[in-house]
Structure 1
Amino acid sequence: MVPKYDTEVNPMKMIRNLSLVLAGFVLGAAVMFTPQIQAATSKLLGSKVGNVVSVKIDDKSIGQGAVINGTTYLPLRATANEMGLEVTKVDTKEVLLSSGSEVSGTQAVNNSEQMKKLQEQIRELNKEISGAENVIGNKEAILRLIESSQDMVELLEQQKADNNEYYDENMYTMYVERLEKSKKNLQDAETNLPLYKQKLTELEAELDKLEGK
């Protein structure tokens, strides 16, 4: 919270206090901004405070401002804090202010990239889940295909053993591959579907966290 100041101020006491403030805060901070301000503030050294005014932001008092040569100078730290700035360094030569925008901006970019990555992973994972569910949904048909393929493989193997003239090596290879592929697809779907769903839950929770939900 910003401390409140009395509205009645001793002008001489305020002049002495503000001289220190101007030397250590106002002038130093101004030097950090532009060469024009630096040149202007150098002329203020030794100048007298012509008046003291109450300074408010949105009807909230943040202290007193010194009027020097027609220009009002605000209390730096209180003003900076009210504007969301942080005083990170104070010495007799300069005052450094930080808005945190660089850090927050970098974090925002990182969050955005991470969210895009998560969204892409979620899309791909949903495809895998859909494919696995489709396989499991057609399990009975796949089992019949496995059974018929197994029968054909056994028949062709018998033909080969008997040197049957109708034996076809290419057909035998096709049915063997079909049999192995059908078994693998069904086994993979049943094994991976719960893993896919668990991973999806984790990714969605991570995305919600980044989105602030």
Structure 2
Amino acid sequence: MFEIRVHGLGGQGAVTLVNWVAQAGYAVDEHVQAFPFFGAERRGAPVKAFVRIDDNPINLRSQVYRPDLLVIMSSDLTGMAIADGLTPDGKVLLNAGPELAERLAARFSREMLYLDATGIALELGLEFDGMPMVNLPLLGAMTRLSGAAPLDVVLGIVREVAGRRGNVEAYESAVRQGWEGIQVVEAGMSAPVSEGATDYDLSRSGVTPIEP
């Protein structure tokens, strides 16, 4: 079983994000589970959302306390999110630039994956109620890191959503950039993990591309 915990702020689309990941897994016959946990139900309040993906039926009904992948949608939540628990080999994916990733890698003595999902969304003009749609780039990154589904399946899901809003090209671009734009910070290094980086030392970074 692969477990994901997402920490976001109300309005960032954390719940939609985990539902999309689950939908992608379900489309390729995985057993999936996705659900949120709300504190104060207001815009800007911390939100947790969870995904489980497995080849077998999932009987667990608890929150995800030790995820294989921890996704942090806002830099304001980094300390809280990491303190909430993670498996020893679990990966952390930040919506951030290299500076924050490097500081956290040093502070917590562990590898940090990062993606500037906010920058991608703003560049493509993807906003909802005045907030960048960071969940679209993060969808690409999360499905790649979790192995939930191939990229073409994920793009099919967002096409359905984007088709109703008339911006299919921007949605697809955001997901592709998220899939291809993951970067990793270890002790003293930062290197991109892109679709074409098949010779990169992926065993060191822990990022495994999903085969087409």
Q: TM-score, normalised by structure 2?
A: 0.21
Bigger share in strand: 2
Bigger share in helix: 1
Pair member with larger Rg: 1
Q: TM-score, normalised by structure 1?
A: 0.21
